[in-house]
Amino acid sequence: MALPEVGKAAPVFTLINQDGTKVSLKGFKGERHVLVYFYPKALTPG
């Protein structure tokens, strides 16, 4: 996957939220801001 470019649309992806529900970036199309936060130590031994 290529690095994202400033001013370009992000690639569409789907993740599972804290409630176990799938959430797709596509569902936020048209929103001005979207914050995606990754917490790498959550539920991991590291």
pLDDT for 11 beyond 90? no
Residue position matching structure tokens 């031994």: 45
| Of 22 and 29, the one with more pLDDT | 22
Higher pLDDT, 42 or 37: 37
CA distance 39 to 29: 23
Model pTM?
0.56
Predicted confidence (pLDDT) at residue 14 exceeds the cutoff of 90: yes
Q: What percentage of residues in the chain have a pLDDT greater than 70? A: 85
Yes or no: say if 25 and 10 are a contact pair by the CB < 8 Å rule. Answer: yes
Mean pLDDT score of the chain, rounded to an integer? 83
